[in-house]
Amino acid sequence: MDGDYWDQRYRERGQLWSGQPNGVLVREASALPPGRALDVGCGEGADARWLADRGWQVTAIDISPVALDRAAAGTDGSAVTFTRLDLATTAPARDAYELVSAQYFPLPRQADHAALHRLLAAVAPGGTLLVAGHDTTELPPHAHGGPDPADFYRPDEIAAVLDDGWTVLVDEIRPRVSAAPPGTAHTRDAVLVARRRG
């Protein structure tokens, strides 16, 4: 699932996602005071725009240039910076963001947890990590040649890696608060909310 894979996915349709912010983000971030946010796997930019509209200064990253071009074209103002970045090889700024949001982002599992540690290190002291994923029990069996869900971290696995520098506020499977993508049967989300101690 590299940049070429995602570029191809985006080119197959004029709009890949709904254009609405993810329900988990809206539910969990609405009460947070605005600051600096990192939107990981920003896609076409709906989450980044929602955060910017609420006063956040957003750095929105994605591996796909096609997605970034679409996101930037649909965003007005200077509250969002769109950047191509692959967490598998490159770290975002350390200790920089009061909110790091990864909504349904396929973070590759690594033996040394390098990509995950890059993600965690971006959260500022006192900041919030928000991760949402699909309940993997609802995913279809892995088809040969396609992405294997087992290759990517589940939110509960990220929670298990956190040390005593974090407070886990939410680590649960819950009903979705927004409609699933067309053609899918996702009814539940896996959600992790953790605060980095200051």
pLDDT (tens digit, 9 = 90+) per residue, 55-102? 999 999 999 998 898 899 878 777 999 999 999 899 999 999 999 999
Residue 138's pLDDT is what?
A: 72
Task: Report the CATH number at residue 107.
Answer: 3.40.50.150
Q: Taking 60 as the threshold, does the pLDDT of residue 168 lie above it?
A: yes
Instruction: Grade residue 44 by pLDDT with cuts at 50, 70 and 90.
Output: confident
Look up residue 66 and give its two tokens: 């096609």
Range of the domain at 176: 3-11+23-196
Which of 127, 70, 132 has the alpha carbon at shortest distance from 103? 132
Residue 14's pLDDT is what?
A: 73
Look up residue 89 and give its two tokens: 């090889």
Residue type, 137: T
Report the number of distinct structural domains present in the chain: 1
Q: What is the DSSP letter of 152?
A: B
Helix axes 65-73, 3-11, angle to 10 degrees: 50
Domain assignment present for residue 18? The answer is no
Domain assignment present for residue 189? The answer is yes
Domain assignment present for residue 161? The answer is yes
Domain assignment present for residue 178? The answer is yes
Domain assignment present for residue 17? The answer is no
Domain assignment present for residue 154? The answer is yes
